[in-house]
């Protein structure tokens, strides 16, 4: 009797097990309904799907269906492509789906993801989840990895040498090594904690986004295929894109750039270099229809363009006055005050609008404050500089024991060292009409006014030799003064 009962029980178990094995348990109604809609199940929702209907399926798109549980996915043993993006998944088990080559699970609520068993995986996208770490060391066939908008604090891609696309933006990654990835063509690492990025070994990269990091320098001179470069909100003080002749879009705003040369970028479509410390910008590249934004660069002295007379309506700020056609013209836009030479018993330095007083040229020497009283003869320099340009003027103070109308220097040294580079008469009371300068043979070399900068020791642009030269000074009362002075070097 006992044996008979055991035999009957065994038969019941086998029959029951067989029936269950013919179906796969799918407890999520939205998941089951999706399978019904796809033709893999029929009838009312009963939490079961015929296994035979799903174990040969190779592609499954169940995105945007409010699914919370993918229990039953293990029945899709032949699955190659799975898209379960835009659902409400808290977990995802793909350990039974060993044939998966493409996995898309963006925009869920996953806190972990294990893909280490998926040797054939080529594409993995899990943007917009809550995943703190991911192990892709075993996924050596991976060509596209998109893991942005998670909680990643590190990313090891050292074994994924076939990668062509890497998107890891909006994480907390402090470092990223892409030097072994010669095939990489797209890198988006925006808004992380990067303090450096080396892309010199990625010659095929066409799209590079490393904005919103803490990167002080970026070398893209080897990235000759680069078309889009986004490096805004970093700590860059310089950026060389002269080799990137295919570049169409550059966004480098909110850095510390002092100069930017875009003259070789003839395919430029969009440029945003606003909010920097630019002193000059060269866009002389024939792309007058491009959209350019260079606002909020308070030290920008000029913009070099193809035609300074054109109204560049797609550029900001608009209008803009300091367009030039040659970079050498930029320095003239650094304003600096100029003062007349002085002769007298003492001189009080007036307040300046542009520049500061110095006792030596080019910002050297002692800083003199407005209001200081000068009691000794000297040349005083007015120096003004922006971050990358400077300008200066100078004037001579000649102190005498008594008031005189004018002072005639006995020599000058035109060596371009900022000291006595020009010869002129100091006219204290505007009593001089004109000054003429001659060589020893009586040839007129220069005619000037006392209010001018003076004579620089040249004739028709050529330096004249060390020698004595004669002057003829005509006063306003027609009195004529004659004498000589020395040119020294």
> Could you check whether 334-404 and 408-489 share the same CATH topology?
yes
Determine the Cα–Cα distance for residues 14 and 266; give it in Å rounded to an integer.
76
Minimum mean pLDDT among 85-89, 270-274, 367-371, 453-457: which range? 453-457
Q: What is the DSSP string of 305-347?
A: -S-TTS--TTEESSS---EESSGGGGGGGS-------EEES-E
pLDDT tens-digit profile of 351-403?
A: 999 999 999 998 999 999 999 999 998 999 999 987 777 888 888 888 887 66
Q: Is residue 93's pLDDT more than 70?
A: yes
Q: Where are the domains of the chain?
A: 16-173, 176-330, 334-404, 408-489
Determine the Cα–Cα distance for residues 252 and 103; give it in Å rounded to an integer.
34
Does residue 197 contact residue 177 with C-beta atoms inside 8 Å? no
Q: What is the DSSP string of 193-211?
A: --S----TT-TT--EEE--
Output the pTM of the full model. 0.74
* The predicted structure's pLDDT at residue 428: 75
CATH class of 176-330: alpha beta
Region 41-50 average pLDDT: 95
Q: 16-173: what fold?
A: 3.80.10
Q: Return the closest-CA partner of residue 411 out of 371, 355, 454.
A: 454
DSSP letter, residue 74: G
Strand bridging mode 444-448 / 432-438: antiparallel
CATH class of 408-489: mainly beta
pLDDT band at 74 (very low <50, low <70, confident <90, very high): very high
* The predicted structure's pLDDT at residue 12: 37
User: Highest-confidence range of 164-173, 274-283, 316-325, 469-478, by mean pLDDT?
Assistant: 164-173
Before 53, cis peptide (omega within 30)?
no
Q: Phi then psi for 281, rounded to 5 degrees? A: -140, 125
Q: 334-404: what fold?
A: Immunoglobulin-like (2.60.40)
pLDDT tens-digit profile of 441-477?
A: 999 999 998 878 889 999 998 999 999 999 999 988 8
Minimum mean pLDDT among 119-133, 149-163, 418-432: which range? 418-432
Does residue 392 contact residue 381 with C-beta atoms inside 8 Å? yes
């Amino acid at each position: 009797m006992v044996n008979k009962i055991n035999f009957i029980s065994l038969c019941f178990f086998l029959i029951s097990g067989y029936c269950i094995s013919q179906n796969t348990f799918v407890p999520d109604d939205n998941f089951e309904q999706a399978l019904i809609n796809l033709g893999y199940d029929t009838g009312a929702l009963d939490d079961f799907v015929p296994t035979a209907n799903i174990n040969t399926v190779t592609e499954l798109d169940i995105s945007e269906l409010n699914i919370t549980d993918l229990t039953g996915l293990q029945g899709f043993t032949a699955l190659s492509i799975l898209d379960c993006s835009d659902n409400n998944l808290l977990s995802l088990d793909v350990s039974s789906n060993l044939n998966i080559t493409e996995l898309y699970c963006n925009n869920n609520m996953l806190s972990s993801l294990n893909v280490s068993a998926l040797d054939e995986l080529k594409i993995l996208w899990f943007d917009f989840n809550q995943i703190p770490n991911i192990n892709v060391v075993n996924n050596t066939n991976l060509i596209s990895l998109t893991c942005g908008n998670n909680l990643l604090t590190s990313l090891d891609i050292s074994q994924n040498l076939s990668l062509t696309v890497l998107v890891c933006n909006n994480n907390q990654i402090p470092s990223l090594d892409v030097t072994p990835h010669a095939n990489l063509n797209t890198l988006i690492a925006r808004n992380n904690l990067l303090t450096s990025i080396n892309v010199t070994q990625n010659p095929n990269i066409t799209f590079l986004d490393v904005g919103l990091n803490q990167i002080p320098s970026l070398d893209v001179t080897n990235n000759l295929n680069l078309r889009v470069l986004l490096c805004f909100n970093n700590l860059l003080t310089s950026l060389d894109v002269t080799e990137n002749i295919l570049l169409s879009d550059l966004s480098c705003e909110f850095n510390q750039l002092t100069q930017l040369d875009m003259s070789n970028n003839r395919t430029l479509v969009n440029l945003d270099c606003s909010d920097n410390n630019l002193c000059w910008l060269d866009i002389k590249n024939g792309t007058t229809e491009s959209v350019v934004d260079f606002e909020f660069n308070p030290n920008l002295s000029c913009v070099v363009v193809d035609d300074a007379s054109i109204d560049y309506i797609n550029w900001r700020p608009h209008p803009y006055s300091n367009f030039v056609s040659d970079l050498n013209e930029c320095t003239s836009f650094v304003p600096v005050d100029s003062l007349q030479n002085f002769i007298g018993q003492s001189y009080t330095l007036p307040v300046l609008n542009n520049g500061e007083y110095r006792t030596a040229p080019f910002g050297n020497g002692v800083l003199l404050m407005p209001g200081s009283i000068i009691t000794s003869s000297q040349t005083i320099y007015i120096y003004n500089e922006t971050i990358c340009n400077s300008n200066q003027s100078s004037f001579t103070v000649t102190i005498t024991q008594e008031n005189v109308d004018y002072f005639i220097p006995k020599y000058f040294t035109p060596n371009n060292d900022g000291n006595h580079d020009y010869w002129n008469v100091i006219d204290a009371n505007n009593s001089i009409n004109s000054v003429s300068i001659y060589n020893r043979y009586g040839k007129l070399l220069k005619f000037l006014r006392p209010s001018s900068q003076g004579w620089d020791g040249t004739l028709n642009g050529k330096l004249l030799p060390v020698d004595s030269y004669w002057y003829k000074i005509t006063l306003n009362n027609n009195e004529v003064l004659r004498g000589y002075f020395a040119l020294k070097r």
